[in-house]
Amino acid sequence: MGSIRQHVNPLGRFFQQPLELPSLTALFPRPHQPLHLDIGCARGRFLMDMAALYPQRNHLGLEIRRLLVEQAETQRQLRQLDNLHYLFCNVTVSLASLTRQLAPEQLQWVTIQFPDPWFKRKHHKRRLLQDSVLNTLAAAMAPGSLLFLQSDVYPLMEDVTALVQAQGCFVRQPPDWWPENPLPVSTERERSVLARGLPVWRACFRRAPRDQGATMGA
């Protein structure tokens, strides 16, 4: 269920093959709407509910497990949500091909929720949020846009929030750890963790103005 992690090694040879992702024009009937990108979308149910709540945005889920993407796309079609799509890819390899086609102010929300923590230090290079991914996001995100991170693994959140702050293009929004989810929809895993009485660690960042991005630290 929501608490089960299915490991996929993003550094495996198969997942290192770059994919040219479809254009937004091919995916959405209104391709120029603001975009919400959910990275590591799993079964996609969070994003499906967000797409229904925010029809004035396009919502795109990226996931490295192809079967989950196929299942999510089937459900999307049943709900007839034309402002939503899911794509199979390894973001560390293929994200840049997607962001290059975005208009300067288009990427408004990025959510990364409960990514695989890869606990062993030697496996940290397999984690989803790496410098390359963060730099690609920073270059594409509109000033003032939201980067929302959450996990039930505190050491992971310490690491990834430090990474974001060191990158210098994002401003952490107080409080450091948000006690409540600022979004109107929870993921399956978030509900599962909270139902067991366990904590969830959340952090929100805003993209700094472009003229400050090169100099802003934490």
Which domains does the chain carry?
34-207 (3.40.50.150)
Residue 45 class from Cβ within 10 Å (0-12 exposed, 13-18 middle, 19+ buried)? middle
CB 187 within 8 A of CB 133: no
The catalytic residues are 116
The one-letter amino acid at 45: R
pLDDT recorded at residue 116: 82
pLDDT recorded at residue 212: 59
pLDDT recorded at residue 126: 58
pLDDT recorded at residue 40: 92
pLDDT recorded at residue 97: 86
The low-confidence residues of the chain, meaning pLDDT below 50, are: 1-5, 9-12, 14-16, 118-119, 123, 213-218
CB 105 within 8 A of CB 142: yes
pLDDT recorded at residue 124: 54
> How does pLDDT run across 22-70, given as a tens digit for each residue?
899 999 999 999 999 999 998 999 999 999 999 999 999 999 888 999 9
pLDDT recorded at residue 217: 37
Q: How many angstroms separate the CA atoms of 82 and 181, rounded?
A: 26
Show Cβ contacts of residue 22 under 8 Å, excluding neighbours closer than 6 positions.
87
